[in-house]
Structure 1
Amino acid sequence: MPIGTVEQLSEWFNLVHVLNPGAAFSFLADAGGWQKYFLSIFGIIVSVILTRLLWTGVLSTSESVAYVLLMSGALGNVLDRLRIGAVIDYLDVHWGDLHWPAFNIADIYVVSGAFLLLITSFGATNTNPESTP
């Protein structure tokens, strides 16, 4: 699909091809280029921290899944930024004249991982016997 293409699939969903040089909701999109490096480094640092947390042990399987979702989404967007300088967004949800900003699968992973981590934190109990003194 060429950049700017819109393919309507239903009354509320389109496939589009847009480039987002910024972060969520195009935050920092017009920042002049430094955001590519900042957001890439940030995504890599977060992924390294989450890898370390996974390596040392986590409290539950759901916490592990949340970390993996967060890392997958972050690194997917980092790859786009390093490869082409922007994130490719292609999912467009709308209702009437109201449009949610276009997003991609990596964004879904990040949001799902953050939501799962939040839900997991409410019921956090230490179920890993190796991590108790």
Structure 2
Amino acid sequence: MPSRSSSSSTGLTAWLLIAAVIILADQFTKVLIIGSFELGDVHPVTSFFDLVRAHNFGAAFSFLNHGPGLQRWFFLGLGLAAAAFIVWILRRHGHQKLFCWALTLILGGALGNVIDRTIHGYVVDFIQVHAGGWYFPAFNVADSAITVGAVLLVLDELRRVRRT
């Protein structure tokens, strides 16, 4: 019979592999955009969706994009600290599926953006959604994973509260 630590490390490995797939998808799409678009290029796909190339020096969805420059190091450090904390939580709670899906999405997204900050000094964004003259800030696969992960965390907490 496997020990608790070997089964928890097996679970952790699965969660880390899923995070790696998110990172690979994020980085692959960014490489495609960098190779095909100049900074500022906009290619309409539908009446409400464009592919663009934007450089985000701030956080998700361009928060603090025009800060003094220290945000690169702050968000890089924050992403690495969050990743370490998430791995520690996944190791302890790997059996809680929805909770771990949420954390894994956040982990993959955070590390995808950390890679950009390390290599480029900014995050490459390329998804632009708009309607009626209103434009949502450009984002990427990593930002999407972080957002979905946050929603899943809220759902997991609502389910937990409902059970008690």
What TM-score results when the alignment is normalised by the length of structure 1?
0.89
Match of 1:7 among 23, 33, 43: 43
Residues of 2 paired with 1:30 and 1:90: CA distance?
18
1:109 alignment partner in structure 2? 145
Shift of 1:11: 0.4
Shift of 1:39: 0.2
Which 5+ residue runs of structure 2 have no aligned equivalent?
Answer: 1-36
Amino acid at match of 1:33: G
For the pair 1:68 / 2:108, whether they are aligned, the reply is no
Question: Where in structure 2 are the equivalents of 1:25-104 lying within 5 Å?
Answer: 25-58=61-94, 60-104=96-140
Which 5+ residue runs of structure 1 have no aligned equivalent?
Answer: 126-133
Count of residue pairs brought into register by the alignment: 125
Give the root-mean-square deviation of aligned CA atoms: 1.3
Residues of 1 paired with 2:66 and 2:87: CA distance?
31
- Worse overlay, 84-93 or 18-27: 18-27
Runs (4+) of structure 1 exceeding 4 A deviation are none
Shift of 1:59: 5.7
Q: Is the 8 A contact 1:59 1:124 kept in 2?
A: no
Residues of 2 paired with 1:85 and 1:30: CA distance?
13
Residues of 1 paired with 2:129 and 2:65: CA distance?
20
1:21 alignment partner in structure 2? 57
Residues of 2 paired with 1:104 and 1:77: CA distance?
9
**Which structure is higher in helix share?**
2
